[in-house]
Each structure stands twice: as C-alpha cells, then as structure tokens.
C-alpha cells in the first residue's frame, strides 16, 4: 500500500478528488459515475471483491469529466489559521463564562463558518497557567451525492450556534467532573460543520455545489478549524497541557487531530475517544456478511474518505496501525460500549484481525478490536488505556448506549472495568496531567 510522507512542506493539490464522472446516459453513483465507469481498487476478500484502498481510480472513462471544488490540501503538520478569528459574544452560566468565536478562514460545507466556544470559570485567573480540555462533538459523517445534494442531510454542514456549542460544555456527564476538577481546567468546544470526521485540511469536497461569499469552492476543513481553535485558546490563556475528548464522530476524528497536533509539535497530553473508530477491514467484512450493510456500504465509505485528508484516509494510517508502529505516541483513552446501538450493537460477525486470522465477535467489539490489541500490546507500562464498558440508558441490559461519557448517573456492568467509568476516565486524565 502507498505510504504518504508524514511531514511535508508541499501542498497536495488533488485533481482526482475534484472530478465527477458523468456517464453517457447521465446516470450516477454517489461519486457521479455511471455503472462500470468509475471503479475502486478491489481485492478478493471474503469471497467477493471489496473496496480496499482510500483512493478511487478513474478507469474506462467514456464521457465528460467535470472539475469540482479542487482543493490544495496542506500537510498534517501545518498549523491552523488563527488570523481571521473573530470574537462574537459572551454569556455566563453555572459559574462559568463562555465566549463564542467565529473563524472565517474555514467556511462550513453549505453556509457560514467554523465556530468555537471557550469556557473559563468565573473568578479564575486569566493569567495563571491551567490545562485545556477540548471537546469534539458527534453528528455522523456526510458527503454530497452526484446531484450535489447533501447526504444524509444538510445537518452538520452549516454554521453552529453559540447555544449548541455551549451546551456541549455544560453537559453533566464527564464535563461536570471536568468543571469541578481541582486542576482548574479551561474548556473548548469546536464546531463540526464540514461534516468530515474532523479530518479535512483544505481538502476537496466532491460534488459540493456551494461556494463561499467570494465565489470560491467550499473545501473541508474540520481538522484545520479544530487545530486553529486549540491554538487560539492556548495563545489566549497560558496553557499547561491540552486534553482532547471526542464522542461518536468526534471520537473517530480525535485520533487524526491528535496525530496532526503531534506532527505540528503541539502534541496533546492525551486524547479520549468515546464510541467510534475507523476500521475499514471490519466494515468490508460486515458488508459482505450482510451485517449493517447500509452503514458499511463501500460506496458510502469511499464517499466519506474522499472528503478527508489524504494521509488520514489512507488505510495504512488507521489509528491502530499508527499506535502499533509508534507513529502516534499521544496517550489514548479508548472507550467503547459493547452493544453500542449506533454501530449495530453486538450482532455476531466473523471479524478480521490484523494478523490475518478471523474470530467470531459482536460487530461493535470487532470495530474496536485492532485498537484494543494495539493499546494492550505494551502492557502495564503504556500510558494509553482501553475502557470497554456495558452501559445502558434504558431498561434493556444490552450495553446499547451510544457515547457513554455524556450520560449522567449510569453504571458500567462490564466486570472487567470499573463500575464508575467516568471516575476511571478522570483518573486517567489526572495521570496524563502528571506525566513529565
């Protein structure tokens, strides 16, 4: 498989990303190709050909090629652009002051710009060094189909309001513990209006018909906007260490953000990932076995991959592989609920492992198994940790709650991990603050 350089000073201008293939009959797939004219690199797996690579290959072209929204992708090591950040408004709630900012350097996919909120405790010193706790919220992942329509909807593609982002920081799950912690955290909530798993870096957005007020194409910039917000908060207030926290899509995205920050030279002290992780091999197997086929449809996966940074979308750079070979050294807290309803619960499947073997397990556990194994491999000396849980928000004991760290008053019944799972997360956070 192709490996891309981890650090580069050159821009990556990707024409294939900006191409929409329109077949002679005008019929289209999610990529805008008529059947049989746009193919992906395939491999025989599970007895059927499956999508295997991050990039689509244009073959057998017999019609028109239309260039759309070509972007010049920046290296993962590049900083976010903070020069255009604007203070918008402020409000107080529950003993905290929340400031709302907009960053016009990074437009949303449909309209508006990326935004973020910084929370500081009323009465705390603005000049005293303190840690920063940054949150990446969820919201699925999207793309634009061949007709230019947002999929699965226009949600998470327009500017996010002050109230929506502030609500993430006033949550009474894990964030109640963060707000009350003796470490005197400052808090940050970033927006998710590129709907790109926080992984775009001026990356082309195929089929997106929307333009900026200046008439320019709208590229995906979830990664850069997040880094810019972190950089701005760290520059505004003296910051000792930065902790990242992501739930759902934010969980899948937090790995790439942590890696990018590491390459940039501002590595976070740790990253907490709750609920989601990219595992293309497991999705391939799931699709062929008829388990959660809509979620694991190769066309959908490829459409999502086409909107993210080249290196993050490369199958060789899935997070477990970065951890296993030492390319990602940021400590990780890896949380998943065994029967998570958003990842098809514990439906049985044959799970492909990284050593080429196959084992029977539930789909959610299968998605998380490679990262679990990579984190467990170094043993007790590792600063990373796995936290599998069984947490329910209803009366049915099936470990089905999605994103457990934003829930209040729930108990973990997995006997291998502590019942007070939020307390376990905070213990790990304190350990990261104590790291040299």
Domain ranges of the chain: 12-73, 86-434
| pLDDT of res. 52 | 37
Beta carbons of 436 and 331 less than 8 angstroms apart: no
The count of residues in the chain is 436
Residues in Cβ contact with 307 at an 8 Å cutoff, skipping those fewer than 6 apart = 143, 194, 196, 199, 200, 203, 204, 205, 206, 220
Q: Alpha-carbon distance 59 to 39, whole Å?
A: 7
| Banded model confidence at residue 70, pLDDT cuts 50, 70, 90 | low
| pLDDT of res. 71 | 72
Is pLDDT above 50 for 15? Answer: no
Q: Alpha-carbon distance 261 to 252, whole Å?
A: 15
| Banded model confidence at residue 180, pLDDT cuts 50, 70, 90 | very high
Is pLDDT above 70 for 67? Answer: no
**Cα dihedral 80/89/198/362 (nearest 10):** 150
| pLDDT of res. 40 | 34
Q: Could you identify the residue written with the tokens 């799950």?
A: 173
Is pLDDT above 70 for 22? Answer: no
Burial class (CB in 10 A: 0-12, 13-18, 19+), 177: middle
Which has the closest alpha carbon to 366: 299, 256, 277?
277
Which one-letter DSSP state was computed for residue 330? S
Mean per-residue pLDDT of the chain: 87
Per DSSP, what are the bridge partners of residue 361? Answer: 349
Q: Alpha-carbon distance 19 to 15, whole Å?
A: 7
Is pLDDT above 50 for 326? Answer: yes
The rounded radius of gyration (Å) of the Cα atoms in the chain is 21
More confident position, 40 or 226: 226
Q: Alpha-carbon distance 369 to 371, whole Å?
A: 6
Q: Alpha-carbon distance 387 to 108, whole Å?
A: 34
Q: Alpha-carbon distance 192 to 189, whole Å?
A: 10
Q: For residue range 402-424, what is the model confidence (pLDDT) as tens digits?
A: 999 999 999 999 999 999 999 99
H or E stretch at 99? strand 96-107
In Å, how far are 145, 342, 425 from 185, measured between CA atoms?
A: 42, 31, 15
Is pLDDT above 50 for 347? Answer: yes
b/e per residue 285-309 (b: at least 16 CB within 10 A):
bbbbbebbeeebbbebbbbbbbbbb
CATH of domain 86-434: 3.40.50.1820
| pLDDT of res. 38 | 27
| Banded model confidence at residue 44, pLDDT cuts 50, 70, 90 | very low
Q: Alpha-carbon distance 15 to 33, whole Å?
A: 16
Segment 94-104 mean pLDDT: 98
| Banded model confidence at residue 31, pLDDT cuts 50, 70, 90 | very low
* Region label for 185, one of left (φ > 0), alpha (ψ between -120 and 50) or beta (otherwise): beta
């Amino acid at each position: 498989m192709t490996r891309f350089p981890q650090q580069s000073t050159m821009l990556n201008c990707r024409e294939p990303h900006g191409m929409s293939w329109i077949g002679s009959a005008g019929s289209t797939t999610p990529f805008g190709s008529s059947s049989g004219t746009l193919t992906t690199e395939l491999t025989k797996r599970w007895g059927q050909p499956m999508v295997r690579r991050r990039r689509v290959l244009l073959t057998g072209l017999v019609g028109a090629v239309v260039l759309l929204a070509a972007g010049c992708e920046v290296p993962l090591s590049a900083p976010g652009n903070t020069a255009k950040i604007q203070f918008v408004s402020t409000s107080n709630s529950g003993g905290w002051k929340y400031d709302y900012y907009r960053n016009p350097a990074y437009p949303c996919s449909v309209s508006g710009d990326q935004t973020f909120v910084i929370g500081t405790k009323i009465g705390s010193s603005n000049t005293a060094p303190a840690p920063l706790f940054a949150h990446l919220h969820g919201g699925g992942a999207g793309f634009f189909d061949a007709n230019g329509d947002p999929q699965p909807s226009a949600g998470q593609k327009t500017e996010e309001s002050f109230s929506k982002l502030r609500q993430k920081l006033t949550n009474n799950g894990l964030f109640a513990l963060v707000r009350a912690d003796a470490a005197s955290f400052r808090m940050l909530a970033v927006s998710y209006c590129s709907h790109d798993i926080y992984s775009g870096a001026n990356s082309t957005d195929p089929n997106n018909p929307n333009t900026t007020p200046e008439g320019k194409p709208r590229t995906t910039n979830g990664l850069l906007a997040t880094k810019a917000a972190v950089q701005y908060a760290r520059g505004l207030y003296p910051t000792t260490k930065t902790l990242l926290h992501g739930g759902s899509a934010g969980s899948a995205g937090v790995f790439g953000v942590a890696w990018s920050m590491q390459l940039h030279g501002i590595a976070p002290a740790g990253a907490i990932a709750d609920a989601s992780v990219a595992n293309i091999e497991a999705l391939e197997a799931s699709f062929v076995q008829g388990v959660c086929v809509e979620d694991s449809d190769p066309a959908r996966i490829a459409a999502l991959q086409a909107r993210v940074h080249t290196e993050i979308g490369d199958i060789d750079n899935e997070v477990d592989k970065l951890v296993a070979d030492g390319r990602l050294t940021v400590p990780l807290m890896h949380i998943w609920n065994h029967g998570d309803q958003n990842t098809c619960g514990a439906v049985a499947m044959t799970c492909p492992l990284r050593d080429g073997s196959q084992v029977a397990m539930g789909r959610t556990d299968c998605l998380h198994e490679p990262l679990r194994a990579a984190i467990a491999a170094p043993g007790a000396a590792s600063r990373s940790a796995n936290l599998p849980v069984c947490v329910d928000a209803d009366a049915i004991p099936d470990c089905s709650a999605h994103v457990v760290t934003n829930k209040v008053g729930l108990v973990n019944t997995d006997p291998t991990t502590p019942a007070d799972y939020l307390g376990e997360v905070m213990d790990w956070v304190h350990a990261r603050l104590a790291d040299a």
